[in-house]
Structure 1
Amino acid sequence: MKCSDLLQQDCGVSKAALQHPFLQACSDGSIRPSQFNTWLEQDFNFVNAFAKFAEKVRAVAPHPHARVYIDGSAALAEELTWFKEKLKERNLIIGGPLHATCAAYIDLLAQLEQQSYPVQAVAFWLIEYVYYKAWNLASPVAEPYREFADRWGNADFSKYVDILEQQADKAMQDADQKEQESIKEAAMAILVVEQRFWQMAMEAA
């Protein structure tokens, strides 16, 4: 089993996570500020939790893989600073209340922290993959949202995601049957909650 196989478990779920109407609305400029701002506030909350998850994965990763997570953690720290700047520009709350959908995603991260490294490696790759692929497919994105698509949909981020995929594929080679089932379940859970995250923003008043 490889990472690419996980995206074929339910193609409808994968498509819903990667090509959601929220992204299309960003692309054509029809997104309402309240919708985008909801996504931005909640995504900051999620990335803050994801940065902590990255540290957990790095701690259990085999030595040859650890360097990538160290670099990823540094990038996430910089990203949180960038998020704060974007939130301030829009006069939005930094670290405000969690929407139920965001809270559910953070709870999923907490559950993944209890899993073995192969499960965590695949989960980490898939979360970053969705960031890359969703914004890449939506590009070009209308102003003033283009910088967000450019941040995650660019070639350099694609290379980073590819490295994560290679490491996750390697980790899965050593996964036993129980771990493989856990990997499939985790992948499906991530894709479902990613779709719900976009939908959360789309439904904002």
Structure 2
Amino acid sequence: MKCADLLQQDPSAAEGALQHPFLKACSDGSITPSQFNAWLQQDYNFVNAFAHFAERVRASSPSAHTRAYTDGLAALSEELTWFKVKLKERSLQSGGPLHETCAAYIDLLGQLEKQSYAVQAAAFWLVEYVYNRAWQLASPVAEPYREFADRWGNADFSKYVDILEQNADEAIQNADEKQQASIRAAAHAILTIEERFWQMAMEAS
């Protein structure tokens, strides 16, 4: 089993996560400010929790893989600062109340922190892959949202995601049958809640 298999095992969930109507609405400019703002606020909350998950994955990783998560943590720290700027530009609070979908995603990260490195590495890759690939598929994105697509859909981020995939593939190859089952379950959970996360924003009034 490899990372690519995790997308093929659940094509409908993968499509929902990667090609949701929220992304299409960003692309053609039909997204409303309230919908985009709802996503932005909750995504800040998620990324804040995801940075803590990255720390756990780095601590669990073999030395040959640690550099990737160290680099990722630095990028996430910078990203959280950027989020605050974007939220302020839109007169939105950072660290506002958690939507139940965002809270469920953060709870999932907490559960994954207790799993083996192989599960964590695959999950970490998948979260970053979805961000990267979803915004690539949505591009070109209409203004004023183009910078968001460019941030997560750019070639440098894709190269980083490729490194994460290599790490995860190595870990998966060394995983036993029980761990591989946990990896498949984690992938399904991530793809499902990613779709719910986009839908959460679409339902904002």
Could you say which TM-score interval applies, normalised by the shorter chain? over 0.9
What's the offset of the Cα at 1:67? 0.5
Q: 2:150 aligned with 1:171, yes or no?
A: no
CA–CA separation in structure 2 for the residues paired with 1:162 and 1:64: 15
Unpaired runs of 5+ in structure 1? none
CA–CA separation in structure 2 for the residues paired with 1:193 and 1:60: 24
Q: Which letter maps to 1:140?
A: P
CA–CA separation in structure 1 for the residues paired with 2:188 and 2:170: 20
Q: Which letter maps to 1:179?
A: Q
Structure 1 residues 147-198: Cα deviation after superposition (integer angstroms, max 9, x where no partner): 0000000100000000000000000011000000000000000000000000
CA–CA separation in structure 2 for the residues paired with 1:94 and 1:55: 21
| TM-score of the superposed pair, with normalisation by structure 1 | 1.00
CA–CA separation in structure 1 for the residues paired with 2:129 and 2:202: 21
Q: 2:145 aligned with 1:145, yes or no?
A: yes
Q: Which letter maps to 2:137?
A: L
CA–CA separation in structure 1 for the residues paired with 2:53 and 2:108: 11
CA–CA separation in structure 2 for the residues paired with 1:71 and 1:162: 14
Q: Which letter maps to 1:196?
A: R
Structure 1 residues 56-80: Cα deviation after superposition (integer angstroms, max 9, x where no partner): 0000100000010000000000000
Match of 1:104 in 2: 104
What's the offset of the Cα at 1:93? 1.1
CA–CA separation in structure 2 for the residues paired with 1:176 and 1:10: 21
Residue 7 of structure 1 aligns to a residue whose secondary structure is: helix
The alignment yields a C-alpha RMSD, in angstroms, of 0.3
Identity percentage over the alignment? 76
CA–CA separation in structure 2 for the residues paired with 1:13 and 1:151: 24
Match of 1:57 in 2: 57
Structure 1 segments (4+ residues) deviating >4 Å:
none
Q: Which letter maps to 1:151?
A: R
